[in-house]
Structure 1
Amino acid sequence: MAGSQFWMLYGLLAARYVVIAGLAFLVFYFFFSSRFSKLKIQALFPKRKDYVREVAYSFLTFFTFALVGVVLSSSAVLPYTQIYQDVSDYGWGYMLLSVVLALLIHDAYFYWTHRLMHHPRLFKLFHLTHHRSVNPSPWAAFAFSPLEAVVEAGVILVIAFLIPIHPLGILLFLLFMTVYNVYGHLGYEIYPKWVVNSRFGRWLNTSTNHNMHHKYFKGNYGLYFRFWDELLGTTHPHYEKTLAKLVSPEQEQQTSQSS
């Protein structure tokens, strides 16, 4: 039973990755790369060996993710979580709110574990594999070492024990996480100017933000939002200028001239 459940989860994880990352790759790296060239964050493209490495490690990561899913749903663990089965227990409003809460928890979890994995004593063991993608592609979204995969999978346990959440809420959270993770490694900045310059949008993490983290290895540790980076002064000093070149080139030119 556990074995069949494991392979079912593994298949779902792999299929979700292939569909979402694959679609992004086909659009931006294969069919319409020239059309979106002005949105490319780093001018050069990764090499074929980079794509192969990213895909291989991602498929390895899904073994860990599927195993955590099996453990979470087991009779030894599930009764002690706050996962509930009947939407009416909390209502549809809370079910949707729980997804938002899960994202906020994940954002904090990611920032601190991510920053911790950059400690010199931990970096090679945990995080170096992911940072071999200095110029990441969509396929890099889950290209983790086995140890980092355990850390990344751990967030679902934290969420399940911390807040009441329905299985549908978990699925929506995981879907959004995958989409945003692929966007973060897209290599293109697709947020329009009106979003990143809005009062709320300026706090959103961007593909540019995470791409710079891969390029420079320091700063920009956030996932969905920029709250933690801004609060703790870990935003890369050239982030705003780099983003402006991609989404507001006329604004960036005026800023450069005035300075």
Structure 2
Amino acid sequence: MPELPEMETYRQQLTRLIIGIPITGVDVSRPKSLNVEPEEFAGKLIGNRIVRIERRAKHLLFHLATGEILLLHLMLGGWIFFGTQEEKPDRTIQIELHFGINSLFFIGLRLGFLHLHTSEVTHKLLQKLGPEPLELNFVQFRNALRPKRGNLKVTFVDQSFLSGIGNCYSDEICFEASLLPLRKVPSLSENEQLQLYQAMQVLLREAIGVGGYMEEPLFVGDRLTGQYNSQCRVYDCREEPCLRCGSSIIQTEVSSRKCFYCAHCQK
């Protein structure tokens, strides 16, 4: 599932590709991906423009010139492609937004959605999300940790704790901090909390800088999206040698989620 760095990469790249360009057409092959009828959806969008793209947690918010917001959550397996009909991937496409000769293709939205809301409704839908990790200072991070009693893995993927971190980056952050994802939050010393905070800041910024771990490019010639995929230290690296100590990376399951770590150098 795309996480904070992947959605931030999409936001940055799409901002320069589609902002201010009139939407000339809409095609919907999976109405369940919408919250309104396809005819109403198309009527609201055709002739409209996206004036700003915002990211909140794992969502993208496409702000329309008329004031409404397209709220996107890709969920598991969802991704985006921008280009011509000739360039589009040979995959099942649920929604297409046309911008002249180019289109924005929403792919793999079996669980994901693209909903049309007012700004007020959008705010209400997102208000239960925790703070953005990169907007916290250490004191705020420490205060958010204080009431938590679970392990680090479960805590980090809880979107009411911090928003935008999922399976991949929870493991990568714990590795960067040299802490086991199975450690209980109350067992952390203040110094270990600081290690965790600093690792989170460094790791997420690094992942954004190299386009996250999405494997599929956003457009033909895209050299940014997905460059973190080959740089994962532990996630999906089962039995590979640890980059720090050479021990085999362990895969286990925590609350029905895959979890990867090095038992030797993570404490």
Shorter-chain TM-score above 0.5: no
Larger RCO: 1 or 2 (CA < 8 Å, sep 6+): 1
Q: Which has the higher helix share?
A: 1
TM normalised by structure 2 equals 0.26
